[in-house]
Chains A and B, each alone.
Chain A
């Protein structure tokens, strides 16, 4: 981006009178505030006509503001834009853009739908900007609450079931997080990550008994935020909510909200509890191994593609946690690259499956994919590239994180056995990825009719696929950014 910096400076100089209207303390949070403003606007517009254009403008404006406004802190330092946060904000904005493209097939013409999505996007941006537990909690709720409703808005009655499960488990995790915050505040008297980090360091060097309260809080955070990420032990809601919600919302849950949980955990563990690395490492290792195994084994036994993809993202998050377990800057960068690549691939995959489901008019199972290469060649090709990206084929983004970054990070940290477990799980995952290709390409269609997949969601999928392949050839584009961002938070 360096070559553009002079142009960016010129434009931001040009726009500085407008930015000056915004209170200085709010300026850095402007992308999130923009999303909120446009969300309310789309609620109003939605009373008359389809408000999707309003939401698009909001997302694009937020993207420009990200480029034009220099990083800094807002709301008295509660929400800070640093390179680390920016990395995740870009994930959220990219996913949000793709999701809005996909919403044209279902729900996008309703004001409430747009409003809820935009609120959730804003909350997600604040989650990754938060440097304080209370601020994090507020943003977390702003992000989560609309998604409960969005899942319930799904196309058939099953959505209520999925949403209920999601909501109840979400509340449980929220309770755990609140309890963890209470423990931390009671022990340290502070809620900012930096202060907690300093406190943990003194406690660990002095071996004082309050370490146990902090450890309990840490485990509660792991479970609470891990719930949203969809790793052991809070993974049970994932397949139900993903399979019953409408596909765009699923794409958002899998692509963006998962990653905010990752960012929150990275901040808590690597800033707040960095001194306790020896204590949290085994916990994370256990979580990651169990998530990989559970995700893999259960994904193998699914017939419904949405559910299969849901379980495969549980497995992917287990893989990502291997990077966190390494606890090094390289590990964090590997986890962040994984987060970005996974957001791109999984969002695309969910949008594609959803678009197919809308055109066929039923939930997609393996049998519906029979002979897809003959019935919808372009969709089949895109599906094949997505599946290969998930499986880690060369010249896709999946190759780098599955075979290079994650095992590399684990070996770098001395966890070579964990690297072997991770790659063996990746190989195991081929069992269900290849099955999709088998149905799409090797089997003859049972029905001769062609499937007309709606165009605009297909454009979103093509964007995701192109991004995936570009990242496969030039991983440095994201990896360098991830390296800098990880270096910013890991000492």
Chain B
């Protein structure tokens, strides 16, 4: 293919500094955006996010020859602490492999789409875009970090701009949601942090993830660490008992805020499970495979039923996110089984499928939920409300918007040909071969299809209410969701675009010989 020529061309570029460039460009742009004022800030944000998107494409092509190893490692030492027998290097340490690059691409894509859909933000614009760009730095940092300290720095950095975006530009009651979001997610991270320290002092005495992965760590420490990661990443994902913040934050946030929350912030949780759990402390994670799988299946079905009961479209989409992210946890838990030992060759292969499916689910759900949230936000402007009973006859009054909405709903419940289908099939095929009872999660799909079609029936295909004004969405508001549907369909037809990036590292993680 012609990709070879492009790769040769990219090899001529000074690629070793691409990660810090991608990471800090938005941070610098954030301060410039604040100075530029309202109009300039939006233009600058669109340009920067688009350039970031292109850079992540360049990154994908550059690492495609061998996505199973760490590329472009870069570090900046903040400080070195030394006491007697141990020394800790506090540094920002970046590097990417296939999974990270997939997430980096997803974040840049979602952030770009969210920037496009920020056109309804009308107060303190420069401040908004400053926080928006800061958020991008934090998100990229999480996916690029190879050091527990820098991972935690960026993990925390994400909260600050998100807190302001929810609280200042959100809807009625958003202040409470912002505080709840901040404290809830902080609580999980705090416990995770203590486990970082415990791992440092009881384990290999380093914060470098690559060294921790290579070091032999006692099994009980690994299990404790995996449990703490469950608390930190499980809040973000979120899993059943830790999910309470999510509907609040998603519903009250402004549309772009919800897009980023559902599109990427939840993926930080899934990525945390894979990077800190499965990849870094595999043996500890393997011991927790069955409880995690059960929890995932329960979360999926539970969230589907709760979503069915929602009357607010945004809230329904929020619970759909919980429902879909449970698939990620199931895939990761299945991966844990394969690492635990005693798996046959066929089971190993299935486990690899499930973990690939988990990553694919993160990418696919990131794109689909963005579309769903943009449309749910759009309903407020077009129909004057997001309450399902209050909206009627969308198809008659607003056919363009209805068409996109129907496509998005199809993608969300996993219609073949869209990316959601591939993700669910991969996880399901992988997991049933290992735990036959994990087929129960298909009941979650069943319920999801049910309530999504029911919703379509109620708001799109119902008879219009003559007393209610419903206007068509302008193209300027529809361009972001339509753009986002393109990769959804492309990935649904050609999943190898993501799987080629992910497969080598997953196989390496699980010990599958391809």
Contact = CB atoms under 8 A, between A and B. Distances in A.
A452 B432 CA distance: 67
A326 to B, nearest CB: 11
B381 interface: no
B236 to A, nearest CB: 15
A411 B198 contact: yes
Contact of A476 (B80, B168, B201): B80
Given A404-B149, A442-B178, A411 B80 contact: no
A384 to B, nearest CB: 9
A474 B78 contact: yes
Contact of A419 (B157, B182, B197): B197
A399 B153 contact: yes
Interface string A137-156: 00000000000000000000
A283 B95 CA distance: 45
Contacts of A435: 179
Given A438-B179, A442-B178, A479 B191 contact: no
Nearest to A423: B190
A484 to B, nearest CB: 10
A239 B274 CA distance: 47
B193 A403 contact: yes
Given A407-B197, A441-B168, A476-B80, A426 B190 contact: yes
B186 interface: yes
Contact of B78 (A392, A393, A430, A475): A475
Nearest to B164: A441
B197 A427 contact: no
B54 interface: no
Contacts of B149: 404
Interface in A437-491: 437-438, 441-443, 473-476, 479-480, 483, 487
A188 B174 CA distance: 64
B83 A388 contact: no
A391 to B, nearest CB: 9
A75 interface: no
Nearest to B160: A393
B194 A423 contact: yes
A48 B168 CA distance: 51
Given A388-B160, A434-B163, A408 B200 contact: yes
B152 interface: yes
Given A395-B153, A430-B186, A438 B194 contact: no
B267 to A, nearest CB: 20
Interface stretch (A2-10, A86-94, A258-266, A328-336): A328-336
Nearest to A328: B83
B134 to A, nearest CB: 10
A394 interface: yes
A483 B82 contact: yes
B191 A423 contact: yes
A437 B197 CA distance: 30
24 contacts: A329-B84, A394-B153, A399-B156, A403-B190, A403-B193, A404-B149, A408-B197, A411-B194, A412-B197, A416-B194, A416-B197, A423-B191, A434-B179, A434-B182, A438-B167, A438-B179, A442-B175, A473-B78, A475-B79, A476-B79, A476-B80, A483-B81, A483-B82, A487-B83
Interface of A: 328-330, 333, 373, 388, 392-395, 399-400, 403-404, 407-408, 411-412, 416, 419-420, 423-424, 426-427, 430-431, 434-435, 437-438, 441-443, 473-476, 479-480, 483, 487
Given A329-B84, A388-B160, 6 more contacts: A330-B83, A394-B157, A411-B198, A416-B198, A476-B80, A479-B79
